[in-house]
Structure 1
């Protein structure tokens, strides 16, 4: 996932190590592949990053287009996709324009939370609705505020990964929630052994009722909402809201 606010782009300057840290979500790839196969047409991923989901779908025979605002991430996606029939384009999901109409459009990696204002969300959904074929599929996931710990937290350990040079990188971070704006501010610290880096990211939380009303208002019918990639039915205590919609 690559976020669209320029203040959020700090996390996405090193695409090779980004992949090494975040490339192990195979259940997600299968979920979106099944949806894409059911749509029987060309598929667009918005906020595609380095193509972590776009490329597996392309390898499975889906005609794919990926759009992202980060030139570094798109450049690496193109390098990885050499020889595949997939198109990567640099662009902003709020203002993206194409003559194509897609059978399915999706965002993943909680990219929906990158749209930090009402206007951002509206612009995104307007883009999606415009570029979908009649009755086309729109799918995305977002963290559920009702099932997420939104309390302020001091630095805690989040995990680790092996970087491109074989270093074990320890990842930790802090969080601070702005309840008035519904925005979580995360600061991520990575200890590379020989250096320590810091990056910041902000994500908006949208409650289930507001989300449903927002989708309906922009011309989408919500067909399914799941709690996980195994299609467990969503409940108010679920940590994620995975929405599958149709253009009405």
Structure 2
């Protein structure tokens, strides 16, 4: 699993800000209206989405594996004048965070799990830490995205103080890809230092997700695609699951 140590420094610069609006809008449409509802955001990263949720009226806790990401999240929350506890932890073990009315996990973070056993274990952890009647929303890459769109994908970013090359290749396991990232980051002396990271992602077919969710205890599951309230098609890029306990 990627550490994001270097990635954290440029993550916000390469993320499309409009995605946070889309995740927020989707969440507000599908989370039941409840005053001061407790929401846990898994894989909260640098905290942008957590702040959006806090400003929308939720009692938010953010959890992420990377302390580097959380350090940025805490600075961002302070700048936004909101109070959000950010917890360093693994979504495979939520024993330290309590229970919540809602849990979200966006930006295909589930796809970073090593295999379907870990995916199932995450679903079990979420189910156990959801209050009765609670809702779990997450998104993943579709198999079309990993099999047809990503292989051969290349993205370059150039800014004054950093540059990035992002190439994606098909991996060995079914519906899996490898993202190879190279960063050139400028230091205080004006010199650029190179950093390399590898991020591995894997998704599964819809039936596999349905089975894993049911095994975890979720019996009410709805699936949507591409931030819209529509069913997935053969060419949908991102699947959204809305699961009720």
User: Shorter chain as normaliser: what TM range?
Assistant: 0.7 to 0.9
CA distance in 2, matches of 1:87, 1:190: 30
CA distance in 2, matches of 1:80, 1:123: 31
Distance 1:16 1:58, change over 3 A: farther
Three-state SS of the structure 1 residue aligned to 2:114 is coil
CA RMSD of aligned residues (A): 2.5
Distance 1:35 1:161, change over 3 A: farther
Single out whichever of 23-32 and 61-70 deviates more from structure 2.
23-32
Give the match for residue 123 of structure 2: 125
Distance 1:78 1:188, change over 3 A: same
Gaps of 5+ in 2: 187-191
Give the match for residue 211 of structure 1: 209
CA distance in 1, matches of 2:42, 2:33: 19
Give the match for residue 28 of structure 1: 23
Aligned length: 235
Three-state SS of the structure 1 residue aligned to 2:219 is strand
CA distance in 2, matches of 1:99, 1:175: 36
Give the match for residue 48 of structure 1: 44
Three-state SS of the structure 1 residue aligned to 2:48 is coil
Single out whichever of 115-124 and 130-139 deviates more from structure 2.
115-124
Single out whichever of 121-130 and 215-224 deviates more from structure 2.
215-224
Deviation string, structure 1 residues 52-84 (Cα, Å, up to 9, x no partner): 211111122211000111111111111111231
CA distance in 2, matches of 1:55, 1:48: 10
Distance 1:13 1:204, change over 3 A: same
CA distance in 1, matches of 2:129, 2:150: 39
CA distance in 2, matches of 1:221, 1:70: 32
Q: TM-score, normalised by structure 2?
A: 0.84
CA distance in 2, matches of 1:91, 1:115: 14
Q: TM-score, normalised by structure 1?
A: 0.84
Three-state SS of the structure 2 residue aligned to 1:120 is helix
Distance 1:152 1:101, change over 3 A: closer
Aligned positions of 1:109-124 closer than 5 A: 109-124=107-122
Report if aligned partners of 2:170, 2:177 keep a CA contact under 8 Å in 1: yes
Report if aligned partners of 1:212, 1:222 keep a CA contact under 8 Å in 2: no
Give how far 1:159 is off: 4.1
Give how far 1:103 is off: 0.8
Check if 1:13 corresponds to 2:13. no
Gaps of 5+ in 1: none
Three-state SS of the structure 1 residue aligned to 2:90 is coil
Deviation string, structure 1 residues 191-231 (Cα, Å, up to 9, x no partner): 56945442101111111111111111111134421111132
